[in-house]
Amino acid sequence: MIAKGGDVKRMMAELYGRATGYGKGKGGSMHVADLDLGMLGANGIVGAGIPIATGAALALQYLETGNVAVVFFGDAASNRGTFHEAVNLGAVWDLPIVYVCENNLYGVSTCQREHMKIRDIADRAAAYGIAGDVVDGNDVEAVHEAGLVAVQRARSGGDPPCSSARPGATRATSSATPAPTAIRPSTRSGSARTPSCAEPRPSSVGGWPASRRSIS
C-alpha cells in the first residue's frame, strides 16, 4: 500500500483509532484500505481477500479497463476453501488477476510440511489450469521481474504456449521468504518453546528440508 502511494500518516492514525485515519478509526490495523489507490483493504479473516480480489478482477475485465488485480496471501491461507474456490472461478472466467502467495514456511507456529503435502504453493495452480511460478522471495530483482511477467500475462488475457494448461489469464506465483528458525510463543511460565517440526533452515530456495524434498 505504501508502494502504491498510500498515506503513511493516515495509516498510523488508523492504527491508533483516530478519526483522521483511513477508516476514521473504525477499521483498525487489520482493515486499512485506500479505495482511491485501488487498494481494497487488508482483511481480518485469513484468505478472505482472495475471492474479493477475484471479483475486483471481474469488474476490471467487465468494464474493459485493461487493469489487473493482484492479491497477496500466505502459505497457510492457501489451505482455505476461499483460495481454491476463488482461483477456480478466476481461472474459468479468464480474469485478469495475479494470485501472489508469500510463503514464509509457517502458519504462525505450524510449519509448512505439517499443513500441506506439497512444497511449492504454485503447484496448486495446475489443479485450476493456470500457470504457477515460483520465485525466490529473497531476490528482489527476481520478484520484480516475475511480477512484471505475471501482470503482463494477466493483462494480455492469455497464457503463453509454453503452458501445458488450458489458456487462462490468471497466474499464480509463490515466493519463498526466510522461515523463522524457531517460533517462540510466550507461555505462562515465561519459558520459550520450539515447535517440534522446527528444523535447521536450509539455504536453498523454498527452504524445504532435504528429507522432505526426497519424498516429494
By CB under 8 A, is residue 57 in contact with other proteins? yes
Tell me whether residue 106 or residue 128 sits nearer to other proteins (CB atom). Answer: 128
From candidates 16, 37, 62, 152, binder to other proteins by CB under 8 A: 62
Tell me whether residue 24 or residue 193 sits nearer to other proteins (CB atom). Answer: 24
Q: Within 10 A of 171 (CB to CB), how many other CB atoms are there? A: 27
Closest Cα partner for 60 from 72, 50, 70? 70
Phi then psi for residue 135, to 5 deg, are: -135, 150
Q: How big is the site for other proteins, counted in residues (CB under 8 A)?
A: 39
Tell me whether residue 69 or residue 111 sits nearer to other proteins (CB atom). Answer: 69
Contacts 24+ apart (CB under 8 A), 10-18: 10/34
Distance CA 32, CA 29 (A): 6
53, 54, 55, 84, 123 from 89: Cα distances, Å: 11, 8, 9, 9, 17
By CB under 8 A, is residue 56 in contact with other proteins? yes
Instruction: Tell me the closest approach of the beta carbon of residue 191 to other proteins, in angstroms.
Output: 36
By CB under 8 A, is residue 177 in contact with other proteins? no
By CB under 8 A, is residue 43 in contact with other proteins? yes
By CB under 8 A, is residue 170 in contact with other proteins? no
From candidates 17, 55, 157, 195, binder to other proteins by CB under 8 A: 55
Under 8 Å between Cβ of 129 and 122: no
Instruction: Tell me the closest approach of the beta carbon of residue 150 to other proteins, in angstroms.
Output: 19
By CB under 8 A, is residue 54 in contact with other proteins? yes
Residue with cell 494477466: 154
Helix (H, G, I), strand (E, B) or coil at 204: coil
78, 80, 104, 200 from 49: Cα distances, Å: 12, 11, 18, 32
Query: Scanning residues 74 to 93, which ones bind other proteins (CB under 8 A)?
Result: 81-82, 85-86, 88-89, 92-93
Q: Which amino acid is at 78?
A: S
Query: Scanning residues 4 to 33, which ones bind other proteins (CB under 8 A)?
Result: 21-28, 31, 33
By CB under 8 A, is residue 59 in contact with other proteins? yes
Query: Scanning residues 87 to 126, which ones bind other proteins (CB under 8 A)?
Result: 88-89, 92-93
Measured torsion, CA atoms of residues 159, 166, 65, 152, in degrees rounded to the nearest 10: -20
Tell me the β-bridge partners of 131.
Answer: 171
Interface contacts to other proteins, rule CB under 8 A = 21-28, 31, 33, 35, 40-41, 43-45, 48, 50-60, 62-63, 69, 81-82, 85-86, 88-89, 92-93
